[in-house]
A = this chain, B = another copy of it.
Amino acid sequence: MRNQRQIRSEMGFSTADHIGVRGMDLVRDLIGKVSLGDMAWLELKGNLPTPEESVLFNALMVTLVEHGMTPSAIAARLTYLGAPEAMNAAVAAGLCGLGTVFAGTAEGSARMLQEALGGAGDTPDLAPIAARIVASFRAAKIPLPGLGHPVHKPIDPRTPRLFELARENGRFGPHCRLMELIAAEAEKVSGKSLPVNATGAIGAIASELGIDWRLCRGIAVMGRAIGLVGHIAEEIRNPIAKEIWHRVDDEASEDVRPK
């Protein structure tokens, strides 16, 4: 016989007159009192953020809401074209594409930083850590996460703003400094321009906020779910999915289709 484990959750529950969310009373403590971004922090952390945490955490998510006509947004619109009765499924389709290529990248930099600093003590000497990380990624021929950008050149304009906010809110700590040292070391060793990009800054700041690297893709998921609803709203006002479909279909079979 298999031993049963207890099933437990602290997320929330409902009774006839009460809805509890992470130990708080939804009606009395949360509705009308906390913003959506602070509610997201409560979901992840079990408590409400300090004002400084709130500014930074909202900034990370706001950065990730909207990137224009991404593959994920186009996929959501095409899905809505076929199933307008289920906009939830259209957003789901868009989220399915937030994988390793585009939106999953903050988890890479957060993991690198958190694994490096996990047992590193209170005031680690960061320069040799940065050198070691750059050397090991180069030896394994894996690109360093969080550096460089195909479009935003010479620098990603989001990075200085995010790091400025981290400084203003007392969270420009060792993960942020290590991320900058890794960029400097990578530039020195490779001779190429490799500034910290937005996902590098987000991974570093999320680490300062005590967010496990396994959850960093979740920051993108929360932000982008909102952005995808925005794209569906525009698709209702000004539909383009049908035009995209017809153009692709016409061109794709141009030379096999009988004239």
Copies of this chain, how many?
A: 4
In the complex, chain A residues 7-65 whose Cβ is within 8 Å of any chain B Cβ = 7-23, 26-27, 30-32, 34-40, 43-44, 54-55, 58-59, 61-63, 65
The interface residues of chain B lying within 8 Å CB-to-CB of A226 are 36, 39-40, 43, 222, 225
In the complex, which of the residues B66, B96, B243 contacts A21, with contact meaning CB atoms closer than 8 Å?
B66
CA of A250 to CA of B253 in the docked complex: distance in angstroms?
Answer: 23
In the complex, which of the residues B67, B74, B90 contacts A96, with contact meaning CB atoms closer than 8 Å?
B90
Shortest Cβ distance from A109 into chain B, in angstroms?
17
Shortest Cβ distance from A241 into chain B, in angstroms?
6
Q: Is A75's beta carbon under 8 Å from chain B?
A: yes
B72 touches A78 (CB 8 A): yes
B34 touches A36 (CB 8 A): no
Place the interface of chain A in its size category: 35 or more
Shortest Cβ distance from A146 into chain B, in angstroms?
17
Shortest Cβ distance from A259 into chain B, in angstroms?
10
Chain B proximity mask over A95-112: 1 for CB below 8 Å, otherwise 0: 111111111100000000
Which of A81-89, A127-135, A171-179 interfaces with chain B? A81-89
The interface residues of chain B lying within 8 Å CB-to-CB of A236 are 212, 214-215
Q: Is A5's beta carbon under 8 Å from chain B?
A: yes
Shortest Cβ distance from A42 into chain B, in angstroms?
8
Q: Is A240's beta carbon under 8 Å from chain B?
A: yes
The interface residues of chain B lying within 8 Å CB-to-CB of A66 are 11-12, 21-22, 26, 39, 43
Q: Is A123's beta carbon under 8 Å from chain B?
A: no
Shortest Cβ distance from A232 into chain B, in angstroms?
7
In the complex, which of the residues B54, B162, B253 contacts A13, with contact meaning CB atoms closer than 8 Å?
B253
Interface, chain A (partner B; CB < 8 A): 2, 4-23, 26-27, 30-32, 34-40, 43-44, 54-55, 58-59, 61-63, 65-76, 78-104, 151-153, 157-158, 161-162, 164-165, 212, 214-215, 217-218, 220-223, 225-227, 229-234, 236, 238, 240-241, 243-258
